[in-house]
Chains A and B, each alone.
Chain A
Amino acid sequence: MRTRITWGRALAWIVLWLFVLATVLPFYWMLRTAFSDNQALAAQSFSLLPADFTLGPFKRVFGLATPEEALAEGGSGASLSFWLYLRNSLVVATAVTVGQVLFSSMAAYAFARLSWPGRDAWFAVFLGALLVPPIFTSLPNFLTIKSLGLLNTLPGIMLPSLFMTPFAIFFMRQFFLGIPKEIDEAAMIDGAKPWRIFFRIILPISAAPVTTLGILTFINTWNEYFWPLLVGQTEESKVLTVALGVFRSQTPQGAPDWAGLMAASLVAALPIVILYAVFGRRVINSIGFSGIK
């Protein structure tokens, strides 16, 4: 097909590319700053390349720089347990992803493919939880975690989202509804029980939506700030997002350690960027209105 190049079309392309540039350039700026020396940032605020290229900011983030080195490049002398925060974030996000996806899938299977009295009513009740904003449940949940003695522990951060979210159940149920009934009926005639059918047949053929849900859950948990801020305040229980907020306020009077801050942000964003690079198409395609046809 011949595409007619018109002025309007060319202009539309330019505008679209401006949007893309405006989206991507700030990330480049983060990268460029993360390899800069704070002392040189002011003088070279326009330079597209790092100001006096150095690995110092990353050394500061991972506690590899001596206090003198850190101060010389405009960092704070204080050390950060970044590895610990990174580990905490990984543990929390992984556990929540595995738990939430497994338990929500099990529930979704019961709601989609088993027949039992009260099923649809219960599903409606579960789904009703979507209407309640997180802030509303966060305060009482804080009290619950406190009385369980789990304040400032990783399980305390995980627990509220470990078992289900209404969205995860809804998402998996939509998929399970689409699997032909004949599949489990045949298995049932062969004498298989629902648990076996779920783990041996339904779950394996649902690898695609399970992966998508897993990625979305991981990203959401990784990025969460409000809840871990409430229940994970100690060094041992801090996740990356919470630590980043602190990293900023730790900088001494005068100019903040911008380079170190950007290096830390970059490290915090990296796992998501890698995940996105590998599974990007899945994430992009998951955004839509599969509910309305």
Chain B
Amino acid sequence: MTTTALDRPAGRTGGGGVPAGPARRRPRNQLWPALGMIAPAALGFLVFYLYPTLRGAYLSFTEYNVLGSPVFVGLQNYVDMAQDDVFWNAVRVTFLYVVLNIGFQTVLAVGLAVLMHRLTRSVLIRGSLLLPYLIANVVVALLWFWMLDYNIGIVNAVIDAVGLPKVAFFGDEAWTVATIAGVNTWRHLGYTALLVFAGLQMIPASVYEAAAVDGAGEWRTFWRITLPLLRPVLVLVLVITVTGAFQVFDTVAVTTAGGPGNASRVLQLYIYEQAFARGHFGYASAMSVVLFLILAGAAFAQMRLLRAGESDLS
């Protein structure tokens, strides 16, 4: 559900964006029809967003195996977590994945977006680049699982033909996280590039013309003009992609299921296993509280570090 979560950004989101004018011009109170219209959405919001958020926070302080009723245990789950090596390993693996995935993806996407911006407006090119993003994670994971197969996958066939040693992309501990990060980079690259591309289109042409008049080359223009002016957009892109990356699950569940050993046991997979394979719902809830806090912290840090609100254009 990240597709265009992007249309969300700052500015007009809050209630402040709505002018108070109409209310004064039209004093009629439309409370009743309004309530009728938001009723279904409000039901969905209360039952499937608000209530589970509060309940999830509560469950994190309980011991609960789904069959009985939750028993309040205070901070016990959090204490257990601090001593759970598999949990810390999951945190480490998840961070490694996020760094690799976001690293590859952002650099390539900015490069690709600049290429498109300078060369073409072709919808066909943009359309093909976006395609992987629209295909289910599961399908993409299976496709790459096949292409990267050790025995007869095309990638290893090529590696072998060139005379290099074959690589067990999903089976070798040293490779597995990087491989999963790579597969998801392939899936998200076009989407991320299109977001950056949209940001590039907001930079006024006059700035580039001025740079050209001053005799700046492509390289210099990119580092001195494009990148700084792209910063606010880049922060939003990062917040969205990083938030998504921390919740990686599908690709891992379908390919390695956390292995070899715990090498790719990411946080969300571990939460899933604790809740559904071992029936530790309270512990799983506590871990998802931590994941939530990590996400909030990461988003906040990115906004602060990269000064998202300010634009160099003004």
Contact = CB atoms under 8 A, between A and B. Distances in A.
Interface of A: 8-9, 12-13, 15-16, 19-20, 22-24, 26-27, 29-30, 33, 41-42, 45-46, 103-104, 106-107, 109-112, 114-117, 119-124, 126-127, 129-144, 146, 159-167, 169-171, 174, 177, 181, 185, 188, 193-195, 198, 216, 219-220, 222-223, 225-226, 229-230, 240-241, 244-245, 248, 255, 258, 261-262, 265, 268-269, 272-273, 276, 280-281, 283-284, 286-293
A16 B136 contact: no
B36 A129 contact: no
Contacts of B157: 45-46
A162 B43 CA distance: 10
Contacts of B126: 284
B30 A139 contact: no
Interface string B250-287: 10011000000000000010011001100001001100
A170 B151 contact: no
B269 to A, nearest CB: 10
B194 to A, nearest CB: 5
Nearest to A170: B8
B3 A216 contact: yes
Could you say which of A170, A223, A292 has the most chain B C-beta atoms within 10 Å of its C-beta?
Answer: A292
18 contacts: A16-B119, A16-B125, A23-B132, A26-B147, A30-B146, A45-B154, A46-B161, A106-B41, A115-B29, A116-B34, A126-B45, A139-B56, A144-B47, A220-B3, A258-B149, A273-B135, A284-B123, A289-B6
A163 B41 contact: yes
B14 interface: yes
Contacts of A130: 5, 8
Contact of A198 (B16, B37, B50): B37
B44 A114 contact: no
A136 B288 contact: yes
B44 A106 contact: no
Contacts of A135: 247, 249, 268, 271, 288, 291
A185 B26 contact: yes
Interface string B19-42: 000110010111101111110111
Nearest to B115: A16
Contact of A144 (B10, B52, B268): B52
B79 interface: no
Nearest to B31: A116
A107 to B, nearest CB: 4
Contact of A122 (B4, B30, B38, B191): B38
Given A119-B34, A163-B40, A225 B7 contact: no
B252 to A, nearest CB: 11
Given A24-B128, A103-B41, A117-B29, 16 more contacts: A12-B115, A29-B147, A45-B152, A106-B41, A119-B15, A133-B292, A137-B52, A141-B52, A167-B7, A188-B26, A194-B37, A223-B137, A225-B138, A244-B139, A268-B139, A276-B131
Given A137-B56, A167-B4, A261-B146, A284 B152 contact: no
B52 A115 contact: no
Contact of A136 (B22, B127, B289): B289
Interface string B48-82: 11111101100100000010000000000000000
A283 B134 contact: yes
| Main SS class of interface, A | helix
Given A104-B41, A135-B271, A223-B137, A174 B254 contact: no
Interface stretch (B95-103, B195-203, B208-216): B195-203
A16 B193 CA distance: 12
- Chain B interface size band reads 35 or more
A136 B56 contact: yes
A96 to B, nearest CB: 11
B48 A280 contact: no
Contacts of A136: 52-53, 56, 288-289, 291-292
A123 B12 CA distance: 12
Contact of A132 (B49, B127, B129): B49
Contact of A292 (B9, B18, B186): B9
Interface in B129-166: 129-132, 134-139, 142-147, 149, 151-154, 157, 161
Contact of B134 (A240, A248, A276, A281): A276
B155 to A, nearest CB: 10
A226 B250 contact: yes
Contacts of A26: 132, 143-144, 147, 186
A114 B33 contact: yes
B305 interface: no
Contact of B30 (A104, A114, A255): A114
A110 B37 contact: yes
B18 to A, nearest CB: 6
Could you say which of A23, A134, A171 has the most chain B C-beta atoms within 10 Å of its C-beta?
Answer: A23
Contacts of B145: 248
A123 B7 contact: no
Given A103-B40, A115-B22, A134 B247 contact: yes
Could you say which of B28, B37, B236 has the most chain A C-beta atoms within 10 Å of its C-beta?
Answer: B37
B7 A291 contact: yes
